Structure 1
Amino acid sequence: MSSREDAIVPEDETVREGAGAARVRRPRRPWVALVLLGVPVLAALLGPWLAGDTPSAQGALPSQPPGAGHPLGTDVLGRDVLWLVLHGGASILGSALAALLIGMAAGVPLGLLAAGPRRGLDETVMRGLDLLLAFPGLLVLMTLAATGHRDWYWLVTVAGVLQVPAVARLVRGAALAPGTRTVVEALRMQGRGWAYIHLRHLARQLAAPLATDAGGRFSVVLYLLASANFLGLGLPVSSPDWAVLIERNGDTLFTQPAAVLVPAGLLTALCVGGNLLVDRVLARRRNR
């Protein structure tokens, strides 16, 4: 009897462990991430087309609560908040994506260059990037604004350049990982060229860490640009940009909260949704 029980118990435990592992490994559908990311993205892309060129009503009183003709009320200048929100997402989303692309486009080649076989080149590239890493982002943007460079493209370019050191460090570290480095050396001994090693092998190895970093870095860039606009360093105060709306209507938070909470909620959803979606996609790839 005892031997039979000993033979049965491990089988039951194995079944339970297998079922538990299956439950853990089963990827969940990223509906929450899609909703959080989709709402602000759709508002940014389709908002200008849905809202039209001019507000639905003009000459309204400033800082009015939601009511007839103004579903979200009016801002401190008497403009319809719903119209402003629908027109303000394109600037912040486009600026963040452009700055992120600039950082990736410059950081990835520099990281691969530093991970090459030449030690002197590695030191030169990384020490130069360390100097750039020492400058606080907002301080650089404030200095740029003080010198009269307040145009949109200056703000985006500098925000993108400030991301280059972190991206280059990530790429260099991933390329110099023991497993990746061993394979690269083997490919070089086989006579494989630079394009084959970097565009085929390293591209696959760096895809996952770069995607994860891009999700978090998008939030960093978004925070930097929103902070600059919030401080009046970027877009003009009349811009419908979500960050500008928060700054302009901050004093009316308790009397007209929709003018502050709606754009703030869209910015938060954009950051959180992007990070969650990247995490879920990478988790699904690992479980396959």
Structure 2
Amino acid sequence: MTPRTKADAVRTRARHPWIASAFLGVPVLVALAGPRAAGDAPSAEGALPSQPPGAGHPLGTDVLGRDVLWLVLHGGASVLGSALGALLVGLAVGVPLGLLAAGPRRGFDETVMRGLDLLLAFPGLLVLMTLAATGHRDWYWLVTVAGILQVPAVARLVRGAALEPGSRTVVEALWMQGHGWAYIHLRHLARQLAAPLATDAGGRFAVVLYLLASANFLGLGLPSSSPDWAVLIERNSDALFTQPAAVLVPAGLLTALCVGGNLLVDRALARRRTDR
């Protein structure tokens, strides 16, 4: 592919924001506006479990006889809030650690990186299983631990970008000019790290979402009565062929959320390249 062809492909992706907006906008809209649009829960009296879509239940009922549409409209808030919360925890802890590890103190770099390597060795689901086994099933525990599990990868990315030869040359020049650590790292390097962090955040959002959804699917997170989309998939998986809407609708929304986030980041980076 010639440089002109590559540039044309980048511009084409940048001109079609509706693709990313459609994938990301639908689940986000459902998550934010769904609870208000759903209103009060419909009465489950007389409703049979795992009924296909019909009068009074546009998406049918789940295995407990609850209205699937009402559950879907209420289940997105926990999904979106948990994933964003865990992502913010990972960035809030990982970015400063990565910047400190890239500093002039070699001993501190080794200490931080070896400690993060130890954390990186633990499988995420195993950590969440241990957390659930000790009785820590609250929402904030799940989000905090999922976020901490992202710290090693974020810190490594930041450290690698900050140690790039071009960045180090500029940093050394700024040191010689008398600029302090805060100016160099929070102002100069922050701009250099914006693009790789944005790219990583899009993919990491999908990783966090997968980890949290897996935990909820395995019963390690939210209670089984929660309308969370992952919980709905787990609760109704046995009724996939008799009542597919109870599984496919929340699964489709989870998939659209992951794909839309990645497409949005790709579009933003493509626009940045075309503006240069």
**Structure 1 residues 18 and 285: alpha-carbon distance in aligned structure 2, compared to 1, 3 A threshold:** closer
- Counterpart among 185, 202, 218 of residue 189 in structure 2: 202
Matched, 1:23 2:30: no
**Structure 1 residues 185 and 94: alpha-carbon distance in aligned structure 2, compared to 1, 3 A threshold:** same
| SS of residue in 2 equivalent to 1:249 | helix
CA distance in 2, matches of 1:106, 1:94: 18
CA distance in 1, matches of 2:201, 2:6: 30
For residue 243 of structure 1, report the CA deviation from its aligned partner: 0.2
**Structure 1 residues 194 and 246: alpha-carbon distance in aligned structure 2, compared to 1, 3 A threshold:** same
Q: Is the 8 Å Cα contact of residues 114 and 126 (structure 1) preserved in structure 2?
A: yes
Supply the AA of the counterpart residue of 1:143: T
Supply the AA of the counterpart residue of 1:193: G
**Structure 1 residues 59 and 152: alpha-carbon distance in aligned structure 2, compared to 1, 3 A threshold:** farther
What residue in structure 2 maps to residue 189 of structure 1? 176
**Structure 1 residues 247 and 134: alpha-carbon distance in aligned structure 2, compared to 1, 3 A threshold:** same
Deviates more, 1:191-200 or 1:180-189: 191-200
Matched, 1:281 2:268: yes
1:81-118 per-residue CA deviation (whole Å, 9 max, x = no partner) reads 00000000000110010000000000000000000001
What residue in structure 2 maps to residue 213 of structure 1? 200
CA distance in 2, matches of 1:215, 1:35: 16
Which ranges in structure 2 are unaligned for 5 or more consecutive residues?
none
**Structure 1 residues 53 and 206: alpha-carbon distance in aligned structure 2, compared to 1, 3 A threshold:** same
Matched, 1:246 2:242: no
What residue in structure 2 maps to residue 133 of structure 1? 120
What residue in structure 1 maps to residue 24 of structure 2? 37
Q: Is the radius of gyration larger for structure 1 or structure 2?
A: 1
| SS of residue in 1 equivalent to 2:224 | coil
CA distance in 2, matches of 1:144, 1:287: 46
- Counterpart among 171, 181, 201 of residue 158 in structure 2: 171
For residue 21 of structure 1, report the CA deviation from its aligned partner: 7.0
Correspondence 1:262-277 to 2 at 5 A? 262-277=249-264
TM-score normalised per structure 1: 0.91
Which ranges in structure 1 are unaligned for 5 or more consecutive residues?
1-16
Identical amino acids, percent of aligned pairs = 86
Greater relative contact order (CA < 8 Å, ≥ 6 in sequence): 2
For residue 236 of structure 1, report the CA deviation from its aligned partner: 0.6
What residue in structure 1 maps to residue 81 of structure 2? 94
CA distance in 1, matches of 2:29, 2:252: 14
1:50-105 per-residue CA deviation (whole Å, 9 max, x = no partner) reads 00132266431110000111110000000000000000000011001000000000
Q: Is the 8 Å Cα contact of residues 57 and 69 (structure 1) preserved in structure 2?
A: no
Supply the AA of the counterpart residue of 2:129: M
What residue in structure 2 maps to residue 143 of structure 1? 130
Deviates more, 1:82-91 or 1:186-195: 186-195
1:135-179 per-residue CA deviation (whole Å, 9 max, x = no partner) reads 000000001111111111111110000000000000000000011
TM-score normalised per structure 2: 0.95
**Structure 1 residues 61 and 170: alpha-carbon distance in aligned structure 2, compared to 1, 3 A threshold:** same
